Amino acid sequence: MSRPLPCLLLLIGLSSGALDARATTFTVTRTDDPSPDDCLPGDCSLREATLAANANDPAAGTDRIQLAAASYTLVRGALTCTQDLELVGSGSAATHVTTDVELFANQHDHTLSVRGLSMQTTVSNVLTMGDDGHLVLDDVSVPVGGGSVQSYGTGTSLEVRDSDLRDTLRCNQSTGPCTVVDSSLLNFYVVPASGGPTVLIQRSIVDGDLDPGATPAPAVVLHAGTTAIQDSTITHTAALRILDNPGQQVSLLRVHYVDNSGPVSTDIDADVSIADSEFRDNVGRALRVDGDANWIVRGSSFIDNQVDDSAGGAIVVQGGASVHIENSTFSGNSFSTAAAGNGARGAAIGYHGDNGSVSVVLRHVTIVPPTVMPFGIDGTAIGGFDGASVDVDVSNSIVRGSCRFDGGALRNHAGNIESPGDTCGFDGSSQVSVPPADVALGTLGDHGGPTPTYEPAGTSVAVDAGGAPQCLEFDQRGYLRPAGSACDAGAVEVDAIDDVIFADGFDQA
């Protein structure tokens, strides 16, 4: 009866060993790249640590390779990672890895986390992740020309946090998420072979000045998928382009699009939504609404943009597209001297109706031209060409400046104020030829809410001038309408309440 006991003890021993399996930390102690041998205490290169991690039990958990503050050079080809791995440095300013190939080769089907280091290569890509893989970058920097980071394939995810990538970030997977948070990028591209990723960019900046000499100029280019950009800045780039594949959905929330040489634009049938965002000092206008796309713009400000073109200093609508703009402010938008001299139209909002039906809807919009404009502009506020296939609907808006509507483009036009002239053709419920002093818009600035606005004086003719059917529930700042007997014309409701919860005047106990 005693013979089975050793087998029982053996099984217990095997079970105990499996329970004791655990992830291992491999500490790199040398900065060169010798012919690999064992990763020994006090004698372990980055390549040797990677090979040791690959040989470890994958069921034991995610192994870690720890790098001290130093510069490490790889000369024997790319590293190979066959299971989940963490590569951890002492901070992107302190730990540097340089290679003449990709850092890791043929990455897929596992998670690779790279944290606290800078990396660079002399070839095109410094790091890639393929099918069903998960790539995480946290406190990672790539210098100018240091190589692209990219994802591709299906079921792939890419996550970038607290990083500074001064080459190109490419989210090219057919399916899977791509997330960028609290980071700075030079270039951002989405170019999948098919399908498209789900992209989220939060609290980040895309800045072409990270490499002022970059050729071609840095840009955000979206060829497919769904993209949401939130609480972020895009500046000194060539453009944000939405291209190629119909059905894209792109949203911008609390985005600052500033000092770019080209607009946010569509060339295809896409759905674009913009809210609580600011477009300022862009020299290729702010938005180009084209390609049968449908745009909705809410609570946003367009300030001091201009273009060298025939229509639309801040926004142009063409190519069968439509735009619905509400609770938004336009200030100081214009044309180049050459374009103005050729009779450019619509210094704030312009249109071309020669290539498909175009729709422009404005609700509670305030438009103010610059104090000084180049000579020759025909329509210092709104205007365009080939109006027979254009529908323009303006209501409850303030137009400081002039209009130039072609061929009956203006179809609906109630509750508006035009100052100082009568060029827009607004109907009898509107006020025209109003002296600027009576509009009393004040100055552009912070009057509450996320974007700059004009807040009319309490004596302004805009107060209670809006029509009820077109009255929106909130103004540009998110304050309640109406504050008086009727909605005010323009983007801002005078004396509005900014707290919906306590609109009855009672505070919370």
> Would the pLDDT of 163 be above 90?
yes
Average pLDDT (441-447) is 97
Find the mean pLDDT for residues 99-121. 96
| Most confident among 66-70, 466-470, 498-502 (mean pLDDT) | 66-70
| pLDDT in the model for residue 21 | 58
Q: Is the pLDDT of residue 109 over 80?
A: yes
Q: Report pLDDT for 8.
A: 35
Give burial (CB, 10 Å; 0-12/13-18/19+) of 375.
Answer: exposed
| pLDDT tier at 59, thresholds 50, 70, 90 | confident
Closest CA to 227 of 197, 206, 256: 197
Tokens coding 170:
């490419």
For residue 407, the model assigns a pLDDT of 80
Q: Provide mean pLDDT across the span 376-405.
A: 96
pTM: 0.93
479: which 2 tokens?
A: 């304050």
- Cα separation, 236 vs 218, in Å, equals 8
pLDDT over 50 (residue 505): no
Res 469: pLDDT: 93
Question: Mean pLDDT over all residues of the chain?
Answer: 93
* Residue range 419-440, pLDDT digits in tens: 999 999 999 899 999 999 999 9
pLDDT at 506 over 50: no
Using the predicted structure, report yes or no on whether residue 28 has a pLDDT greater than 60.
Answer: yes
Give φ, ψ of 389 to 5 degrees. -110, 25
Least trusted range by pLDDT, from 15-19, 77-81, 409-413, 419-423: 15-19
Residue 16 φ then ψ, to 5°: -65, -40
> Are 208 and 232 within 8 A, CB to CB?
no
Strand partners for 74: 99
Reported as a single tens digit per residue, the pLDDT across 196-253 is 999 999 999 999 999 999 999 999 999 999 999 999 999 999 999 999 999 999 999 9
The amino acid occupying position 401 is G
* pLDDT confidence bin for 273, thresholds 50/70/90: very high
Q: What is the pLDDT of residues 301-345, one digit of tens each?
A: 999 999 999 999 999 999 999 999 999 999 999 999 999 999 999
